Chain A
């Protein structure tokens, strides 16, 4: 158990639908990152939040949105789903520099949420 919790583990839905993926970061970590990994592809960075605020944006579609709540958990919302959105969605968290951790943004990944769009 990495300490990063993602739910649900598996999700099957239809095109045009909307889903929400949830992530609870490791205790003490303020940053949350979302990544998409399609079949046999590398990790694609979607978005990062730090202590509730958006910090960086990657290749995130306009149909996707995310937020980080005051308790630091994060949700990734995927709407108007298409077949090509089928992928593993990973959440990762990291400790901020200067807090006694590695200070080097070591990412701790969750086990991922596997989304299948039919």
Chain B
């Protein structure tokens, strides 16, 4: 069954600290993996997208990694800012299927 599991469910960190969010998937055959940031009450916004051959992709302070063998991805946020407080959603695509993780809710506190 195609599934996407994200952990932790929620996370609280202090401003300036780093954090890593995890995404494990069983979607097959794998096409691509995307991380989205969703501010409360807003639509998700794409952060990174990786295909099978890519194992890391950066977007400013956001760095996503992908291990297609173990079917794991992580999103690393460095030097967190208050504006990073949001839900981060992992989306994995197969050929004609797109699966969303439940998201990790990140809170950055001053």
| Beta-carbon nearest neighbor of B6 in chain A | A42
Q: How far is the CA of A112 from the CA of B102 in the complex (A)?
A: 18
A65 to B: closest C-beta gap in Å: 21
Which residues from chain A contact B49 at a C-beta distance below 8 Å? 102, 104, 106
Question: Which residues from 13 to 47 on chain A have a C-beta closer than 8 Å to any C-beta of chain B?
Answer: 41-43, 45
Which residues from chain B contact A56 at a C-beta distance below 8 Å? 96-97
Q: How far is the CA of A42 from the CA of B6 in the complex (A)?
A: 11
B42 at the interface (CB under 8 A from A): yes
Which residues from chain B contact A114 at a C-beta distance below 8 Å? 41
B100 at the interface (CB under 8 A from A): yes
| Contact assessment for A111 and B34 in the assembled complex, using a CB-CB cutoff below 8 Å | no
| Contact assessment for A104 and B89 in the assembled complex, using a CB-CB cutoff below 8 Å | no
Question: Which residues from 66 to 99 on chain A have a C-beta closer than 8 Å to any C-beta of chain B?
Answer: 88, 90, 92
Q: How far is the CA of A56 from the CA of B34 in the complex (A)?
A: 20
Of B46, B97, B98, B103, which one neighbours A42 at CB under 8 angstroms? Answer: B103
B5 to A: closest C-beta gap in Å: 11
Which residues from chain A contact B34 at a C-beta distance below 8 Å? 104, 106-107
| Beta-carbon nearest neighbor of A109 in chain B | B43
Of B32, B43, B91, B97, which one neighbours A112 at CB under 8 angstroms? Answer: B43
Kindly supply a per-residue 1/0 record for chain B positions 50-66, scoring 1 wherever the CB is within 8 Å of any chain A CB and 0 otherwise: 01000000000000000
Q: How far is the CA of A53 from the CA of B1 in the complex (A)?
A: 26
| Contact assessment for B43 and A42 in the assembled complex, using a CB-CB cutoff below 8 Å | no
Which residues from chain B contact A42 at a C-beta distance below 8 Å? 89, 100-103
Which residues from chain B contact A108 at a C-beta distance below 8 Å? 46
Q: A104-B32, A104-B51, A105-B98 are in contact. Are A92 and B43 (CB under 8 A)?
A: yes
Q: A42-B103, A105-B93 are in contact. Are A90 and B43 (CB under 8 A)?
A: yes
Q: A43-B100, A105-B32 are in contact. Are A2 and B45 (CB under 8 A)?
A: yes
Could you tell me which A residues sit within 8 Å of B by CB distance?
2, 4, 41-43, 45, 56, 88, 90, 92, 102, 104-112, 114
Could you tell me which B residues sit within 8 Å of A by CB distance?
31-32, 34, 36, 41-46, 49, 51, 89, 91, 93, 96-98, 100-103
User: Sorted from nearest, which 3 A-B pairs have the closest CB atoms?
Assistant: A109-B43, A42-B102, A104-B32
